[in-house]
Chains A and B, each alone.
Chain A
Amino acid sequence: MTTRAVEAWTLAPLKGFVGEASARLVLLMTPAGQVLAQHGFTRALDVMSAAALSTAIVASTTEIARQLGEPPFAALTHQGERHGIFLANAPTHQGIVVVLVVYDLDVSSIGLVQLFFEQLRTELHAASPKTGVPKQVLAADFERQLSDSLDTLFGR
């Protein structure tokens, strides 16, 4: 399984997490849907869909929390017959990183994913550069940046 990163500082924490939690797929992205790193995806289309859907879920639940007068939800978990999905935020010096984890129930569990996600959060925060402004994507640049990111993530 391949692990690749657009933002190099995310790579080591991501690799550590994947190994410890036995995750099948992991996607690190900004709340706007820019992909920072991925593990296990084999098709660019899947990454784009997963990023769009994950950030939409985060946006929806954040808005629900806001309407309830609550702080944003810490994590969201869905469990199916064979796979589980875990979606949570990790604060870094470069802003919030949204983390999507898909795990096989045969080889991992929500307990393991939660346990090692705490470590991932800490490591991402520590690894993120303190200097430099996080890149903002303008609508005009979006397609080019997306294409560049996918090229990096899939080694084209």
Chain B
Amino acid sequence: MSGYERALDLVTRVRGVRGAMLVSAADGLVVAEQLMEGIKGSAVAALAGSLANRLARAMGAGGIGATLFWHLQCSAGALLVVPAPSGVLIVAVADTEVNVGLVRLELLRAAELVG
């Protein structure tokens, strides 16, 4: 099993996670993915990449350093993201009742694996 697959496994094994992806932040392209049917990976990757770049600029303008974790809670689920130092985003798509703390922990571990 490759490092990328192991990283995604860490996230997808959490109950309530519907999928996990590694996304190139600069390009908004999918590097690797494990998604349930019905989730359009390329769209999530493109929009998450765009959002990550805008957030990074906002954080920079605010002088509060780099983004470590973001959590977008929506009416039917949540998007959770941790940027890895290599420029890869680890993205989780989750249900509303997911344990956010546990997903965050696994996303951070996955980011360490991805490097």
Contact = CB atoms under 8 A, between A and B. Distances in A.
Contacts of B50: 108-109, 111-112
Interface string B27-59: 111000000000000110111011001000000
B53 A111 contact: no
A108 B45 CA distance: 13
Interface residues of A, number: 9
A109 B43 CA distance: 12
A79 to B, nearest CB: 8
Interface residues of B, number: 14
Nearest to B57: A106
Contacts of B29: 109-111, 114
Q: Which of A108, A109, A112, A115 is packed against the most chain B CB atoms within 10 Å?
A: A109
B113 interface: no
B102 interface: no
Contacts of A105: 26
Given A109-B26, A114-B46, 15 more contacts: A105-B26, A108-B50, A109-B27, A109-B28, A109-B29, A109-B46, A109-B53, A110-B28, A111-B23, A111-B24, A111-B45, A111-B46, A111-B49, A111-B50, A115-B46
B49 A115 contact: no
A115 B44 CA distance: 10
Contacts of B27: 109-111
Nearest to A22: B50
